[in-house]
Structure 1
Amino acid sequence: FDYIPKDIDREIDEEFSLKPVYTLPWGDQRLSVSTGAYEDGRYTAELRYDISEEQMPWVSSWDTNILPDVTAAGEGSLYEGFEGKKEAIENSVKESLRSYLRPRIYDKPSRISGKARLAGIPYIIMDEGKYRCTAKITLRIDEILEYRAY
């Protein structure tokens, strides 16, 4: 992620970008459906992904109590379909970062960068024309840049 907090005094707009570190290639044989059910017009499925030996060190590097886990909520437009759901998850990541750093950093930074991971399955509902997502996020903050002068 890369985050520039809004600063009214400096006339800086908020910017937040989130890019995947890894995406599954189409047809990856390690991804499978372990259980599935159709009930009341809804299909639910539990997916399983078997991690390769090369991926194991990266995945296990996130399983530490040094990195903070933060639960936060975000919203996205229901009318945008999948993009709205993605926006709700991204806003959850942004809000987790803001809520974690707000009590720890007194002066607003100019930029924050790092990595984030979903620490569990996000809870997403549809409400009042919006996707509302609550997610537990693990944060790995790589850099916090301060303003040099006001």
Structure 2
Amino acid sequence: MSSLPNKPHAFNPPGVPEPPPTYSQVSVTPLIPTSKLITLAGQVGLDGKTHEVAEGFDDQVKLAYHNILNALKAAGATPRDIIHVKHFIVKDTGRVGVESEDELTRVWGHHWIEFMDKEGEGHRPPDTVLGVVALATKDLLYECEVWAIVHD
């Protein structure tokens, strides 16, 4: 951890893709002596070992959740500790602007529900879903940003 115990500690954990030098993948911020706020950079469908973007929307979503799990573990958290989520979906996927919440859940939400049932004890934190024109690179179709709090 940081040599300054009351300041944020940003780092890049193993098992999560190495980011450009402009940011770190995880930050842990002490709130009170027994609690920490953990913020993750938006996780995408990029394989941390091969540095390849997964093929297709569904595979990118699943790999993003795998990267979230690894980043949370590296910070001493689990998906059960998540307090807020932002999902960014590139509009060209045809996966946003759907007609109903049921349709939205079918196009990508089922992966989130499956992930949170398996790794987060069925926890359903508040979330925001945004349709965007583009993400950092043209191959990326989905990004997920997560905040969590852990208590020691």
Pairwise same-fold verdict (TM > 0.5): no
Greater relative CO, 1 or 2 (CA 8 Å, sep 6+): 2
The structure carrying a bigger helix percent of its residues is 2
TM-score, structure 2 length as denominator?
A: 0.27
Higher strand fraction: Structure 1 or Structure 2?
Answer: 1
Bigger radius of gyration, 1 or 2?
1
Give the TM-score normalised by structure 1. Answer: 0.27
